[in-house]
Amino acid sequence: MPRDAVPQPVRLSDYRPPDWLVDTVHLDVRLHPTATRILARLALRPNPEGREGSPIVLDGDELSLKSIALDGTPLAGSAYVTTAGTLTVLAPPQRALTLEIETVVDPSANTKLMGLYRSSGAYCTQCEAEGFRRITYFPDRPDVLAVYTTRIEAEREEAPVLLANGNPVESGAVEGTSRHYAIWHDPWPKPSYLFALVGGRLDRITDHFVTATGKKVELGIYVEPGKTERAGYAMDALKRSMRWDEEVFGCEYDLDVFNIVAVADFNMGAMENKGLNIFNDKYVLASPETATDADYANIEGIIAHEYFHNWTGNRITCRDWFQLCLKEGLTVFRDQEFSSDQRSRPVKRISDVRLLKGHQFPEDAGPLAHPVRPSTYREINNFYTATVYEKGAEVVRMLKTLLGEEGFRAGMDLYFDRHDGDAATVEDFLACFADANGIDLTQFALWYAQSGTPHLAVSGHWDAQARTYRLDVVQTLPPTPGQPEKQPMVIPLALGLVGPDGNDLPMRLDDGTNAERGVLLVTRPRQSFVFRDVAERPVASLNRGFSAPVKLTSDLTTQDLVFLARHDADPFNRFDAAQTIALAHLVEATAARRTGRDLPSPAALVEALGATLSDATLDPAFIAQALSVPSESDVAREIADDVDPDAIHDARQALRRALSAALRPALEGAYDRHAPTGAYAPDAASAGRRALRNACLDLLAAGGTAPGLARALAHFRDADNMTDRFLALSVLAHNAPDAREEALAAFYERFRDDPLVVDKWLALQAQIAEPGTLERVRGLTGHPAFSWGNPNRVRSLVGSFAGANQTQFNRADGAGHDFVADAVLELDGRNPQVAARLLAAFKSWRSLEPGRRASAERALRRVAAKPGLSPDVGDIVSRSLE
């Protein structure tokens, strides 16, 4: 396919089973830096469910075909045809047969990082979603499951380590040469997207795990030479994940070995290849000097995520890519639960919801909105989104809320039982929960089909005489691209009625039933729920634990919210009450900024946060979350229309300054009380203490007051770990223009040889909300530490500028938009996936005020007009402009 051909949309409704199946794949891969030879032997047979008499159509992309033979006989040129994307064997015998195909690829020239490529000299692969076709011709679709045997051969000097999926079978020297080989066999049938191999000069750490039934699994984590000391935490997280999946889901590991390889050049976070996970090294390597507490938590979560895919993704895979959420939403849910069990559940929930609101809600509200299960796509790489992952996880969480712990587990057990070895669909998944619980999930299934964030408007009415409390709920779902009309959803609304003493009142509905597990089922556009025997006016604590991914508005007063922030038994809502006060304040303050009116008073928020700060029963990590006021993009989302990022920034800065002044003694007290007591440890309790101390410092220094900055300088100087050092650096960079350059330079000098730390340095500078930042970022693209070829560097510098610097990306003069558009065009020829992700930063452009909206549109149109765009960027830009 020519690079600029706009691919035809693929539609879910067009799904047909494959015409040919592949039972086994034998690969012989001769690694070479520029000409790697792949000999593939495929055992194929016609699919009884396919179309009779079909040709064999194989996918291929940028392959050089050397030979092809059918049952040992070379195929005549007239017996097959190739196009840029396919190889078709014409009129094949309609029986089991063998194809032997020899291809050559150039891994050193592979800048897309899909298929076989090189990272710091090592060979590695990335096959999801459609990368296997860049290694050999194959029916590269997830419903073709085969058993793979892989022989890898390489110069021993260049690649002493040779890994592939499954179990090791044999290895040795290639007689009379400087080469060696290894053979791996994976007994579990798998789709091609789970294939992987690695060859290189790598160091490793090893350990083992004994499964619930007593089988010993050898564990290995491979890293660049000299970095083994930083792999220990990942290994620990892996073993905890393996145990947890046995205990919580009854899932046991199923091979003799489990290997992880960390590479420096990777398009995404990590990949769950069977028995051979390949990771972006950012999510493996950690030491107290180089990684923050957030990095440790990410490593734990992503190691778990990839490991959990072994059952949800690998043993049960997806029938087609429309079903991506079947593995991703479910596996995110599982990793969230794991981290909740390892750490503080409420704090984990708060940070997950922050992520959801910060990334998924804007996606759902803009031109790139799509259902959790899309019904059409032009480029599947563009659907590894917050909607498929994070909203997909919320949908699974709602199932659990609806069915309860036991009902949910029964559904999961049935799913594992019924579909082990299958390429399944969302319908298959839901049927397991429906069957195991004897319920109908037809309406619930709308969560997979309708895009957009539902809105719930709730009002409460207490009747003192009748001693009843009525909740009126109105449900709406806004139109989204391609979905002008919506049907009402099933919304599990967890709630509590909080009495004047701060305790929950019993909840009895007027039909005599208890609101089961404290959850109301909202299923209609308008619904009322009446509670009886309510002797006192309650305050409704709504959507507890964020039981449904909805935008909720209510008639709660500011006083009610302050009350909930102090007393709610549900920690998430306690947090959320203060955030709601802050958000309302910021929206009002932003409007005041734009019209020159006086800023509103932050007294209610000061009261709520003051109470939180002085509550000794609260977890420090929770207090830290409470202290961090909604982000600029949270405020932009709330305003939704005619957004002026500068006004938002000013309003938010003013609020932080006001909080800093009003809460100073309490903040200083908490800062001092949470000073480190011993050497750094990454556990949740220690991290929580640091988080609180750092949140206090961050507020104390807001606005650059002298005592706050003095504290920050001391914090920077005295830090003995990256969490503290980087927080202090960031406080200085944002608030102390005079101290900034020296601190940034000192930090760079110290960590210049450590690319993952340099990434933090790049990202921080890109986020400074000042007009000089664009020039700084432009300059940094020429810095020796920066490279357009490494996705982590690009995301840190350009991605942070576009995604985490609202005022400078959306500069009034349009220069921020132009810079990012130029970066996208620069990158597209090299790595379309990274370019397309960067371009998605424009997803909220329509909500900007007219001047900025016009400049964003101009930038997008300029991208759209460029000839030869990749399908990835072409797809994002056309949907953004639709």
592, interface contact from Zn ion, ligand 0A1, none, CB < 5-8 Å by kind = none
**Cβ distance to ligand 0A1 smaller for residue 272 or 638:** 272
How many of the chain's residues bind Zn ion (CB under 5 A)? Answer: 2
Nearest to 38 by CA among 103, 97, 98, 87: 103
Dist CA 373 CA 383 (whole Å)? 10
Task: Give the C-alpha separation, 260 to 274, whole Å.
Answer: 10
Cα dihedral 854, 855, 856, 860, rounded to 10, equals: 100
Instruction: Provide the CB-side half-sphere exposure for 235 (13 A, CA).
Output: 19
How far apart are CB 327 and ligand 0A1 at their closest, in Å?
7
Per partner kind, with CB cut-offs from 5 to 8 A, the member of Zn ion, ligand 0A1, none near residue 268 is ligand 0A1
Burial 17-47 (b: 16+ CB within 10 A, else e): ebbbbbeebbbbbbbbeeebbbbbebbbebb
- Residue 330 CB, shortest distance to ligand 0A1, in Å, is 11
Q: How far is CA 458 from CA 475, 548, 570, in A?
A: 9, 14, 19
Query: 837: which residues sit within 8 A by CB, 6+ positions away?
Result: 795, 799
Select from Zn ion, ligand 0A1, none the partner in contact with residue 128, using the beta carbon and a kind-dependent cut-off of 5 to 8 Å.
ligand 0A1
Long-range contacts, 287-290 (Cβ 8 Å, 24+)? 287/229, 287/230, 288/680, 288/682, 288/720, 288/721, 288/722, 289/721, 289/722, 290/230, 290/722, 290/751, 290/754, 290/756, 290/757
Question: Considering the complex, what minimum distance in angstroms separates the CB of residue 479 from ligand 0A1?
Answer: 30
504: which residues sit within 8 A by CB, 6+ positions away?
496, 497, 498, 569
- Residue 306 known to be catalytic: yes
* Minimum distance, C-beta of residue 271 to ligand 0A1, in the bound complex (Å): 4
Residue 382 CB, nearest approach to ligand 0A1 (Å): 11
Q: Which does 743 bind (CB under 5 to 8 A by kind): ligand 0A1, Zn ion, none?
A: none
In the chain, the N- to C-terminal Cα span, in Å, equals 24
Question: Least separation, in Å, of the C-beta of 273 and Zn ion?
Answer: 12
CB under 5 to 8 A by kind: which of Zn ion, ligand 0A1, none does 126 bind?
ligand 0A1
Residue 416's binding partner out of Zn ion, ligand 0A1, none, with CB under 5 to 8 Å set by partner kind: none
Distance separating alpha carbons of residues 367 and 844, to the nearest angstrom: 8
- Choose among 127, 61, 130, 451: nearest CA to 320: 130
Q: Which is nearer to Zn ion, 188 or 307 (CB)?
A: 307
**Choice between 331 and 579, CB closer to Zn ion:** 331
* CB 333 to Zn ion: min, Å: 11
Q: Report how far residue 743's alpha carbon sits from residue 426's, in angstroms, rounded to the nearest whole number.
A: 51
- Please report which helix (H) or strand (E) contains residue 231, including its range: none
Backbone angles phi, psi at 280, to 5 degrees: -60, 125
Other C-beta atoms within 10 Å of 75: how many?
Answer: 17
Tell me whether residue 271 or residue 797 sits nearer to ligand 0A1 (CB atom): 271
Nearer to ligand 0A1, 153 or 390 (CB): 390
From Zn ion, ligand 0A1, none, interface partner of 271 (C-beta below 5 to 8 A by class): ligand 0A1
Instruction: Using CB atoms within 10 Å of the CB of residue 506, give its burial: 0 to 12 exposed, 13 to 18 middle, 19+ buried.
Output: exposed
Q: Residue 282 or residue 740: which is nearer to ligand 0A1 going by CB?
A: 282
Which residues neighbour 832 within 8 Å (Cβ) at sequence distance 6 or greater?
112, 381, 870, 871, 872, 873
Residues that bind ligand 0A1 (CB under 6 A): 126, 128, 267-272, 305-306, 328, 384
In the complex with Zn ion, the residue whose CB is nearer, 384 or 462, is 384
Q: Which is nearer to ligand 0A1, 196 or 768 (CB)?
A: 196
How far are the Cα atoms of 9, 219, 360, 401, 531 from residue 490, in angstroms, in the given order?
30, 43, 19, 12, 20
Among residues 100, 153, 272, 306, the one annotated as catalytic is 306
Q: Which is nearer to ligand 0A1, 126 or 694 (CB)?
A: 126
Which residues fall within 8 angstroms of residue 267, CB to CB, at 6 or more apart? 113, 114, 126, 791, 831, 833, 834
Q: Are 218 and 128 in contact (CB under 8 A)?
A: no
- DSSP result, 234-280: HHHHHHHHHHHHHHHH-----SSEEEEEEES--SSSEE--TTEEEEE
> Nearest distance from residue 493's CB to Zn ion, in Å?
29
Look at residue 300 and give the partner it binds from Zn ion, ligand 0A1, none, a contact being a CB closer than 5 to 8 Å depending on partner kind. none
**Residue 269 interaction partner, one of Zn ion, ligand 0A1, none, beta carbon < 5-8 Å per kind:** ligand 0A1
- For Zn ion, the closer of residues 262 and 762 by Cβ is 262
Prior bond of 76 cis (ω within 30°): no
What's the min distance (Å) between Cβ of 355 and Zn ion?
A: 15
The smaller minimum CB distance to ligand 0A1, of residues 736 and 836, is found at 836
- In angstroms, what is the minimal distance from the CB of 305 to Zn ion? 5
Tell me how far, at minimum, the Cβ of 309 lies from Zn ion, in Å.
6
Taking CB under 5 A as the criterion, which residues in 269-328 touch Zn ion?
A: 328
DSSP designation for 316: B
> Per DSSP, which regions of 106-145 are E strands?
115-119, 122-126
Scanning residues 328 to 347, which ones bind Zn ion (CB under 5 A)? 328, 331
d(CA 759, CA 62): 32
The catalytic residues are: 306
Q: Which residues bind Zn ion (CB under 5 A)?
A: 328, 331
